[in-house]
Amino acid sequence: MGGSGPSLVDSRMKDLCAYLYSLRNQGSSYGIERMELLLDKIGRKMLNIPVIHVAGTNGKGSTCAMLDAIYRENGYKVGLFSSPHLVDLGERIRVNGKILSRDKLLDHIHVLKPYAEEIEEEFRGMHPSFFEMMTAVAFCEFAGEKVDLVVLETGLGGRLDSTNVVDPVVSVITTISLDHCHILGNTVEKIAFEKAGIVKAGRPVITGWLSFSANEVVRKVALEKNSSFFTLADQPVDQNLPETNLTGDHQKRNAALAMCVTECLQDQFPVSQEKTKRGLHHVSLEGRWQVLKNEPQIVLDACHNQEGALALREQLVKLSGKTELIIWFGSLGEERAAEILHLISEFATQIRFFQPSQPRSCTFEKLQSLLPPKYSGKVQNGKIKGVKAYLDQINSNQILLITGSIYLLGEVLEIVKNKKKTLSADFQDLI
């Protein structure tokens, strides 16, 4: 950026936010065609980097973070693309753990925007979406940085996801459960087929502890594409799982899957057992049972669907009866909120509901109505601007769990950490 002063950077950033926000309604039809058109414009040489491609209903973000940590610990230069973010949009794109700077993001969008506009002129209604533009930014950044390996997380599904333009060295599917049913299908088998769309001819695929029916769908796709198929589903779920500094048995399962990937790639990307263990103990992932503060303990845990709620419940069972639990909760979607509250509300003595600054977020009244009848604790209405005052009310004998939508976690973090809102959280879940 040379001698660009803060005011110029802020002005460019404001323009960037406006442009990206305008893409919310672009690409509303689910498909990969827009990404293909964009790659035709910018070139496909940037895709000539070894990629680990990861899909799944839950656990893909954690598994990607673990793979990133393992390979960095073993001396590789690693690019990581994941979503959503908590506060800063640059969190989605990292090289060796360092998030993409505002300056670099601005520069990449400056290059990509004319190509996107050309596509819209040539193919009306085909302007790349926000998520597609961010995917392209990631590819450009990783190519420019000459990374050794890319860990690439899908945004939604797999088959038609904008990331599914790569020819990976291995495809990974973490878990499969009912989520995004209106897009991916209303059965586990249909969703499994969509996730299995990342499997490429002759490239190995590894699955976690999928259900039998889901695993069979992936196995069939692998067979059709002459791809080697490996699964952890044939092993006992909780036997001899590796340790990681991320909390929860589900994270140990994610660690086992990550280690299985490294074993599959040992010839191409050799790693040592010692450094792999060290990587798993150094992995960092905000918003996954993240202890923000002790005395009183404040925990952030993004939980957006039933499978995530079940994993969270495992942690709450361990805490049950040991201390008083207060929950702050916000959600985008009534069905999800009902499922999550049904599983976790029994552990709380009080719940404070928040409405994240999103069009689809549930109101206090709606969330209150979704509480199970058996819940007898205190219910309060929360406002984001009151977060600091609410925190002052928490005492050392209590644990505060902030959960539900990642939008809520991001908004709370901005206040608690006094982070300047340079890139709006409005972009978190855009596809």
Q: What is the mean pLDDT of residues 408-414?
A: 89
Rounded to 5 degrees, φ, ψ at 215 are -65, -35
Q: How far apart are CA 59 and CA 61, in angstroms?
A: 6
Quick one: 214 and 295 in the same domain?
no
pTM: 0.89
At residue 183, the pLDDT reads: 64
pLDDT level of residue 8 (50, 70, 90 thresholds): low
Strands 290-293 and 378-381: unpaired
Using alpha carbons, list the distances in angstroms from residue 307 to 10, 118, 368, 384: 40, 41, 22, 27
Question: Residue 180 has what DSSP assignment?
Answer: S
Of 217, 248, 282, which residue is a domain's last? 282
Domain that holds residue 414: 290-427
At residue 294, the pLDDT reads: 84
The pLDDT of residue 218 is above 90: yes
The pLDDT of residue 427 is above 50: no
Quick one: 55 and 124 in the same domain?
yes
Quick one: 273 and 377 in the same domain?
no
pLDDT level of residue 74 (50, 70, 90 thresholds): very high
Asked if the structure places residue 54 within a domain, the reply is yes
Question: Model confidence over 56-68: pLDDT tens digits?
Answer: 988 999 999 999 9
At residue 6, the pLDDT reads: 54
* CATH code of 401's domain: 3.90.190.20
Looking at 14-18, 39-43, 111-115, which range is the least confident one?
14-18
Rounded to 5 degrees, φ, ψ at 24 are -55, -40
The pLDDT of residue 316 is above 60: yes
At residue 287, the pLDDT reads: 87
Q: Are 117 and 111 in contact (CB under 8 A)?
A: no
pLDDT level of residue 102 (50, 70, 90 thresholds): confident
Quick one: 272 and 296 in the same domain?
no
Asked if the structure places residue 1 within a domain, the reply is no
Task: Kindly state the percentage of the chain with pLDDT values over 90.
Answer: 63
Which residue has better confidence, 305 or 222? 222
DSSP 252-272: HHHHHHHHHHHHHTTTTS---
Strands 290-293 and 297-302: antiparallel
The pLDDT of residue 263 is above 60: yes
For residue 353, give the nearest of 307, 323, 390 by alpha carbon: 390
Task: Kindly state the percentage of the chain with pLDDT values over 70.
Answer: 91
Rounded to 5 degrees, φ, ψ at 170 are -160, 145
Quick one: 274 and 305 in the same domain?
no
Looking at 22-26, 148-152, 175-179, 235-239, which range is the least confident one?
22-26
What is the helix (H) or strand (E) element at residue 121, kind and residue range? Answer: helix 102-122
Which residue has better confidence, 359 or 142? 142
Tokens for 80? 């990581």
The pLDDT of residue 92 is above 80: yes
The pLDDT of residue 425 is above 80: no
At residue 430, the pLDDT reads: 41
For residue 67, give the nearest of 267, 268, 221, 282 by alpha carbon: 282
Q: How many domains does the chain have?
A: 2
The pLDDT of residue 258 is above 80: yes
Quick one: 143 and 79 in the same domain?
yes
Of 255, 282, 309, which residue is a domain's last? 282
Looking at 164-173, 211-220, 318-327, which range is the least confident one?
318-327
Quick one: 329 and 221 in the same domain?
no
At residue 5, the pLDDT reads: 54
The pLDDT of residue 141 is above 90: yes
At residue 116, the pLDDT reads: 94
Q: How far apart are CA 353 and CA 217, in angstroms?
A: 39
Quick one: 86 and 56 in the same domain?
yes
Quick one: 278 and 322 in the same domain?
no
Q: How far apart are CA 84 and CA 71, in angstroms?
A: 22
* CATH code of 236's domain: 3.40.1190.10
Quick one: 14 and 120 in the same domain?
yes
Q: Are 323 and 399 in contact (CB under 8 A)?
A: yes
Question: Residue 62 has what DSSP assignment?
Answer: H
Of 236, 259, 282, which residue is a domain's last? 282
The pLDDT of residue 284 is above 80: yes
For residue 101, give the nearest of 63, 69, 145 by alpha carbon: 145
Q: How far does CA 405 lie from the centroid of its chain?
A: 12
